[in-house]
Amino acid sequence: MVLVQIQQLSTAKILIQSASKLATQLGKSFGVLSFVDSDEQIEDSLTGLKSLIGLNEDQIFVRNSNKSVLSEICEELDVSFLFIQLIDNKLIRKQLNVCRDLRIPYLFYKDSFVELDLTRVILPIGFLEEELEKAQFASAFGRFCESEISMLLANDYGSKAATNAEKMKSLFDKFDFKYSLENATKDSFKVEAESIQVAENERAGLIIISASRDYGLDDILFGPKEYHVVKKSNIPVLLVNPRGDLYALCD
């Protein structure tokens, strides 16, 4: 399932359209998730959403925010991709904390964004092992959406980032995906921030990045790297949580 978590229905039209279209392209079911403050509000919210969105009852999910855990809901509904409506940049850090335990990719969608365009996706590549996990999701877009994958290789002294890129290229070549490889000016610590400008220059529609493995003191005080990318980006950012128990494609 491709699931959309909405915060404010009145501004979620483009988000819902984008997620529904992607669900069709991927051959997945589609659903909308909304949180309310109490059990008493669930039934009224369900009724209201059905009439306003025009979806079937089995496509709309309303949960008590005080009793529900997002990661558990996604596992229960067998969610493959999660879209999260972002109505205010002030909510980014809160949403990132909520998403730390997700085992699926999650995409932040600001109300100011236009409809999702997956003609070209940007894939910054650093030296960490978990970078490889992004390849399977880039491949999904290449396969089902005919996306061209723009790989942005970090400008490191070592060879780990380049090795990651070669493994990804091997996968993309196997399925004959359209891709290009560009050398970044920044190293692995800043390549994801550079991807914002590259995405703008190349008129890309999506950036795929890895979330932080752990939060250090600077991350706690000023926000992790993904916080700054999501905040500054003018297009959706898809995040993949690094997890040791996930299969790293191409590894």
Judgement on whether residues 64 and 132 belong to the same structural domain of the protein: no
Both 7 and 70 in one domain: the answer is yes
Q: Same domain, yes or no, for 94 and 155?
A: no
Give me the number of domains the chain comprises.
2
Q: Are 77 and 182 members of one domain?
A: no
Choose the final residue of a domain: 58, 86, 110. Answer: 110
- Pick the last residue of a domain from 62, 82, 110: 110
Say if residue 65 is in the same domain as residue 125. Answer: no
CATH number of 143's domain: 3.40.50.620
Residues 183 and 235 in one domain: yes
Query: pTM, whole model, 2 decimals?
Result: 0.91
Domain end (from 75, 110, 145): 110
The answer to whether position 181 is within a domain reads yes
Measure the CA–CA gap between 169 and 161, rounded to whole angstroms.
12
**Same structural domain, 127 and 156:** yes
> For residue 69, is it within any domain?
yes
Q: Which residue has the tokens 């365009």?
A: 117
Residues 52 and 72 in one domain: yes
| In a domain? residue 175 | yes
Structure tokens at 61: 């999910």
> Strand 106-110 relative to strand 237-240: parallel, antiparallel, unpaired?
antiparallel
Do residues 221 and 149 both lie within one domain? yes
In a domain, 8, yes or no: yes
Q: In angstroms, how far is CA 188 from the centroid of its own chain?
A: 20
Query: Token digits for 40?
Result: 């008493």
For residue 245, being part of any structural domain is answered with no
45 and 130 within one domain: no
Rounded mean pLDDT for each run of 10 residues along the chain, 251 residues in total: 93 94 95 91 86 85 91 95 94 92 94 96 95 94 96 95 96 94 95 96 96 67 82 96 58 42
Q: Is residue 250 part of a domain?
A: no
Please check whether residues 232 and 127 belong to one and the same domain: yes
- Residue-level pLDDT at 52: 78
Residue 158 falls inside a structural domain? yes
Contact 153, 181 (CB under 8 A): yes
Considering the domain architecture, whether residues 135 and 232 belong to the same structural domain is answered as yes
What integer pLDDT is reported at residue 251 of this predicted model? 42
pLDDT attached to residue 13:
92
Position 225 in a domain? yes
Residue 220 in tokens: 């706690």
Q: Look at strands 81-86 and 2-6 and give their pairing.
A: parallel
- Domain boundaries, position 88: 2-110
